[in-house]
Structure 1
């Protein structure tokens, strides 16, 4: 039986996390529209994008939005029309909620750039709730035999990290620098290592440096330290614009820096010779395509990564975001609405 109401967290007053912008509320259980499914949430991983939205660094697209876009759950109802999915199916709901399918970006396989794209937990209520709706064509089938806690971070941290790795143009056996080592970075590092890369990690967190070493990084250092050899590619996961010139200066000739975050503080002035000359490149990463998601989840199924998680009860969503803001989470924070997590 689907209840009439559910527990949820909403962004009531966007602002610094210390001011309590999240509010625990009771909401009606949403009804799936045509082509949509209703998903009962098992777990939802906590993303830095949720923090940016909660603190107002990402302008809210609607008032009192339920955040969360790394959702593992089961379909309990389907809207009108063919969805290709049945109640009881286990699925993942990710950041990209819908694209138009008609614009020139969608037609060329770049649906992540669709001007009319919408996003889970920003344009529509997300997974900090007992239930959410999702567009059936945008959810990912998930295995039944893997704990939800391990699957949830794959749905954004993993997928976005995978796209950032593609955007970094890492050559076979290349040297990859990773700046910031949180939820997404620790998964991306493992994929790069499987590909035969040498991985260098720069981060301010001592716990994150220890995790990077444990996962197989060749060298770890502070956020602004210079790696021991020039990098072929680099990915900036930390939302710190001041690290862009640091990372560019660490690149070898022809190297590429990919900036993975949806929000970045201001970038200082760049010096052409020191940061860009000799065909060094600076690239952004904007969301992902469904093809990116399917490709990464296939990789993760074939070679399951170690997913470092910190579990939080559903009641502690605000604490999870406070810990994320304070760099107190090693790996991925995950909210659970079920004791079976």
Structure 2
């Protein structure tokens, strides 16, 4: 399940960055999708360093364990300006923080079906010169195409890409969802139907 959803949409987001080998890239949030995108970056762009921004120390350590060059809290400034950042969070604060880490001409790709309204006021802190000037770009991911899935599955087989999952019985679906929102999650939560 994580490959066909989080992995495939993560691949689409990676394509939209228009990354070139050697360009530094960031990931905001490090859960179901980002933990699959990191090995894709390492495979497709071996000279690109990956910088991870995550709210909790366990997620940051997981990113480092998988080969990220650096990991810090969401509000951090990366050691180097980034050419692209993929945001996989449900919140707005990471979007504003990510824009501060883009180099001129950099691209922020928002890989989320929706954003919560809880911290929408963070958008009021946008400053044109600090966050957008110098042709920084923001783009959302809408859907994946059949071609994206075909490409992704070939890449996943070559790596080989192995998602980290925590299994939950279907009757614990609410717990799995609450854990995603409120607890550090290593990889993806998966519901098992028996």
The two structures share one fold, judged by TM-score above 0.5: yes
- SS of 1:156 mapped into structure 2: helix
Tell me, yes or no, if structure 1 residue 336 matches structure 2 residue 192: yes
Determine which of 71, 86, 96 is the counterpart of 1:235: 86
Q: Write the distance in 2 (CA, Å) between the matches of 1:234 and 1:278.
A: 16
Map 1:210-289; keep pairs closer than 5 Å. Answer: 210-265=61-116, 266=120, 268-269=123-124, 270-289=126-145
Report the Cα distance in structure 2 between the residues aligned to 1:200 and 1:329, rounded to whole angstroms.
19
* Residue 13 (structure 2) pairs with residue 164 (structure 1): yes
Correspondence 1:205 to 2:60? no
- Deviation >3 Å, runs of 4+: none
Match of 2:34 in 1: 185
Distance 1:306 1:173 in 2: 24
Deviation per CA, 1:196-232, whole angstroms, max 9, x where unpaired?
A: 1210000012211111000000000001111000001
Q: CA RMSD in A?
A: 1.4
Deviation at 1:306, TM superposition (A): 3.2
SS of the equivalent of 1:246 reads: helix
Unpaired runs of 5+ residues, structure 1, are 1-151
Query: In structure 1, how many angstroms separate the alpha carbons of the residues matched to 2:114 and 2:193?
Result: 28
Give the Cα separation in 2 of the matches to 1:200 and 1:278: 21
- Name the CA distance, whole Å, in 1 between partners of 2:16 and 2:36: 16
| Structure having the larger proportion of residues in strand | 1
Partner of 1:95: none
Secondary structure of 2:108's aligned partner: strand
Once the two structures are superposed, residues 216-250 of structure 1 have per-residue CA deviations (whole angstroms, 9 ceiling, x without a partner) of 00000001111000001101111111222211111
| Bigger RCO of structures 1 and 2 (CA < 8 A, at least 6 apart) | 2
Q: How far is the alpha carbon of 1:318 from its aligned partner? A: 2.1
Shift of 1:255: 0.6
Residue 324 (structure 1) aligns with: 180
Distance 1:210 1:293 in 2: 29
Secondary structure of the 2:52 match is: strand
CA distance in 1, matches of 2:5, 2:162: 16
Greater Rg over alpha carbons, structure: 1
- What is the CA distance between 1:287 and its match in structure 2? 1.8
TM-score of the pair, normalised by structure 2? 0.91
State the alpha-carbon separation in 2 of the partners of residues 207 and 245 from structure 1.
23
Normalised by the size of structure 1, how large is the TM-score? 0.53
Once residues 244 and 311 of structure 1 are traced to their aligned partners in structure 2, the CA distance between those partners, rounded to angstroms, is 30
Q: 1:303: which partner in 2? A: 159
Contact 1:236/1:244 (<8 A) preserved: yes
Q: 1:48-90 deviations in whole A, cap 9, x for unaligned? A: xxxxxxxxxxxxxxxxxxxxxxxxxxxxxxxxxxxxxxxxxxx
Residue in structure 2 matched with residue 13 of structure 1 by the alignment: none
